[in-house]
Chains A and B, each alone.
Chain A
Amino acid sequence: MSDAASRLRRLAAFLSKSLLLMATAMSLVAVLLIIVYIARDAIPFFKLHGLKELFASAAWFPSGTPPEFGAWAIFVGSALVTAGAVVVAVPLGVAAAIALSDILPYRLRQAVKPVIEVLAALPSVAYGFFALVIFAPLLQQRGGSLLAVAAWLVLLPLGLLLILIVSGAATRSVRPDVAPAARWILAAALAAILLRGLLALGSLLASLTVASGTNALNVSVVLGVMALPTIVSVAEDSLQAAGRELREGSYALGATRAETLFKAVMPAAGSGIIAAVILGVMRAIGETMVVWMASGNAAQVPQPWYNLLSPVRTLTATIAGDMGEADQVLGSSRYHVLFALALCLLVISLLANLGSEWILRRKQRRLGGAK
């Protein structure tokens, strides 16, 4: 009797184990199948057209006769939009993570973090709608002044902070009785230069006219906001993981809060922050709906290349937008080129993923070694 019972129990254990194994294998198989099928449909394109056309030409006319499949402009578009999103999201995200973990009082933090995470829950089509219907017309009507205000908002406090630090450092060796006066004079002079510069930059930006609001800048800002919650929560977690002991140890040595943050906490959390940034970048590269709706989808290399105000086309939007008409039945180049683009996208995200994985593992090893 008890023999039968233990046999049944062993059977149950075996079954549950194999079920769990199957569930794990499922996602692995899905990833493998995706890679295999994308590669299978991408290879015919490279066989027909070679590598050169895709990467070296910027003439994207998939429906022309004869069709041209130069995707250089599309790669540039993706890179530009992603870089723009990084510029928006990384400073904001890391600063917010620092504020959440080390500056804000505990109760405020409990309220703010969920709100930031709501940003991750919004469907991307809602972001796209916002970018297309509200942000694009706003950029067209008040683009110049909007940019000028943004420049002031970012550069004025940053500049003043920098001036205070620089003037303090520069007057450290001055005689103590005149040091405060020297510091004030130096700070005032630097502030005057800063204001002059900001005024010039502001009027330059304000004189810009934005012909079309669906452009790289629009999408960069929106993608940056979309990447924020990822960056904030991962970076905040790693800052938290740096631990109370580290901070208290630093304070005990007489370090100020700024010194503790920049010289103890951030180096300890550095690899976590880098991983957060990479995850945010992946979110920006892979996003489809927003770029399809609001980037303008013009397959051109902006002139000059850093001109964020010109419409661009990205890899993801091209794949999504061209799939319908691409001849699936007969398998034309127009169909296979999309898989070639998807393969490139896959390789990029795989590399980024491996990179972040490597960074995280290195951190774990280092922390493990320290113990």
Chain B
Amino acid sequence: MKIATILLTLALLAGGVGFAADANRIVVDGSTTVGPIAKAFAEYYMKLNPRVNITVSESGSGNGAKSLVNKSCQVASMSRLLKLNEFEAAVHSEILPVVHVVALDGIAMVVHPGNPVAKLTLAQVKDAYLGKIRNWSQLGGPNAPIVIISRDTNSGTYETFEGKVMKGEKIVKNCEYVGSNGAIRQRVQSTPAALGYVGIGFLDDTVKALAVDNVMPTPETVKNGSYPIARPLYLVTNDYPKMGSHLYRYVNLYLSKKGQSMIEEIGFIPVTSY
């Protein structure tokens, strides 16, 4: 079934190269984290320019890079930079990836609202995910085994967490993997002993965010660089878009006042400050 879908998709993609050149059609593919921004931008832009058709898929940063290299999308939305081998593959396919930093994102450590623990150090977070700390009592909480929850290894959020917190060491085997930010929030709000992480944009009062190294995850702390688990979010195009083209105006929406308020509304931190 899945293979049949892949074959079908490949067939469609082969046909898709033809209309990819159409200047009124923009295809965005990539990160589930950047997806909401790309979607909000797309809706706004299509309302202003009804003849332009923008489709946004969220299949993970890696897929975004893949699609850009395959020329099946014009914009890859990514929550990490291209890896060296992805860059290499791109250059090999005569694609020059140009990176636009559209917003910033912090990863917040979250626990159940009833959990008395309010702050952890980065080292404690790492030890919990390494399985060296296994009980909340070791972190000043109740006597309950920690239920470690992570995004799936397929997500940009995971890769940032792995890079910023784990620094290449392996997450403990009993860690549970979950397919989306929303699903992590759902698991944490219903599991008293859970420890998970979500993008700051996905924080709400159903879960409790922890201070890391005594810094709360807020837009200000991410922007001034004091919050340790933070990253830029990218849109990647092939070459810099032709000035004045639809692609150019779409990708640069983040620099406008409207773009800033859209990014804030979704819960990310804009790079501009009007």
Contacts and interface: CB of A to CB of B under 8 A. Distances in A.
B223 interface: no
Interface string A206-227: 0000011110000000000000
A152 to B, nearest CB: 26
A297 B149 CA distance: 10
Count chain B CB atoms within 10 A of each CB in A136, A296, A311, A324 and give the residue with the most: A324
A139 to B, nearest CB: 10
A119 interface: no
Contacts of B70: 329
B191 A140 contact: yes
B208 to A, nearest CB: 17
A296 B147 CA distance: 10
Interface stretch (A30-38, A47-55, A228-236): A30-38
Interface string B149-171: 00011110011001000001010
B265 interface: no
A300 interface: yes
The interface centre, meaning the residue of B61, B62, B155, B177 with most chain A CB atoms within 10 A of its CB, is: B177
Contact of A329 (B86, B155, B179): B86
Contacts of B53: none
B173 A299 contact: yes
A214 B187 contact: yes
Contacts, number: 101
A324 B60 contact: yes
A326 B63 CA distance: 9
A63 B162 contact: yes
Contacts of A299: 173
Contacts of A58: 173
A325 B176 contact: no
Q: Please classify the interface of chain A as helix (H, G, I), strand (E, B), loop, or mixed, using the class held by over half of its residues.
A: loop
A65 interface: yes
B190 interface: yes
Contact of B186 (A59, A133, A324, A329): A133
Interface string A285-319: 00000001100111110000000001101000001
Contact of B7 (A33, A322, A329): A33
Given A311-B174, A311-B176, A324 B190 contact: no
A310 B174 contact: yes
Contacts of B61: 325
Nearest to B187: A214
B245 interface: no
Contacts of B170: 61, 64
Given A37-B3, A297-B177, A298-B175, 15 more contacts: A33-B7, A64-B168, A65-B168, A211-B147, A212-B147, A311-B176, A321-B177, A322-B152, A324-B59, A325-B60, A325-B153, A325-B155, A326-B62, A329-B66, A329-B89
Interface of A: 30, 33-34, 37-38, 58-59, 61-65, 73, 132-133, 136-137, 140, 211-214, 292-293, 296-300, 310-311, 313, 319-330
5 nearest A-B pairs in the assembled complex, by CB-CB distance: A324-B60, A297-B177, A137-B190, A325-B62, A296-B176
